Amino acid sequence: MRIKYLTILMLLIGVYACSSFPYAKTNRQYIRQAKLLSKKLSLSPDKQSENQLSLAQKWVGTTNFDLRKPNFVVIHHTAQNSCEQTLKTFTLERTKVSAHYVICKDGTVHHMLNDYMRAWHGGIGSWGNNTDLNSSSIGIEIDNNGFEPFEQAQINSLLQLLAQLKNKYQIPVDHFIGHSDIAPRRKVDPNINFPWKTLANLGYGIWFEPDPNIQLQSGLTIKQALSLVGYETKDSIAAILAFKRHFRQDSSRLMNQADSSVLSQLIQAKLSN
């Protein structure tokens, strides 16, 4: 009888533990998925190659390798109404979206995915010749509905996180970009309230002030200039809006001399790297 009561007690404790933390089940699913991926990584190349290849009889493995590392950071706003809503979204399989980090309004950071794994945060998009940002970037989502200012606690946590990522993975200064930069026809995040200048002053991105003495190179169109910076320009208006949202903190589609001077400086910075 005593054993029976102990068994019931343990079951009740287990049920309570699971009910008190709503993501216990999805955390277990994360671990299962990570184990499946690790099994694939541990397979020797001769067990991964297609049968039609003319493979050597004996496999020779190199001793010089490590994990591929992220080379970009893509910043988003969640476009949802709470951090909890975003966590729920990223733990539902049907949504097919995720990010490595989520930063709540109070500055709490949720590290949802190992940095070396590929999150589904960028979608279809490009930056320069890179057409698969998900495979080369870390995605950071900031709790913000898309129209409101960002909380200082969020920015403080973001700056701490960016310092770690930049140092750990040696991410180039100009590889800190926004979702709308890589997908100007689909996305507007992070919104014009995002403090890109503050980030750039600390080495996370680049920023230039307008200079009346600098103009675009003669013969270079705005569309060509945006393409040189990295924007996809099939929709030139969308590209202009993305550029102005990030580098001018403006929502106008009209380009003026100040805008062109910033664009010209961005091109020079790109060419000098």
As to burial, measured by CB atoms within 10 angstroms (0-12 exposed, 13-18 middle, 19+ buried), residue 32 is: exposed
- Which has the closest alpha carbon to 126: 223, 205, 227, 197? 227
Residues contacting residue 55 through CB under 8 Å, at least 6 positions apart: 46, 49
Among 50, 93, 141, 232, which one carries the catalytic annotation?
Answer: 141
Instruction: Enter the tokens of residue 24.
Output: 């216990």
CB proximity list for 110: less than 8 A, separation 6 or greater: 83, 87, 101, 102, 103, 104
How far separated are the first and last CA of the chain, in Å rounded? 75
Task: Return the residue matching tokens 């949504």.
Answer: 95
Q: Is there a contact between 140 and 76 (Cβ–Cβ < 8 Å)? A: yes
For residues 244 and 181, what is the distance between their CA atoms, to the nearest angstrom? 10
Q: Nearest 5°: phi and psi at 176?
A: -100, 105
Contact 174, 269 (CB under 8 A): yes
Rounded distance between C-alpha atoms, residue 180 and residue 251, angstroms: 13
Q: 77: which strand partners? A: 142
Query: Who contacts 33 (Cβ-Cβ below 8 Å, separation ≥6)?
Result: none
50 assigned to active site: no
Which amino acids are annotated catalytic? 141
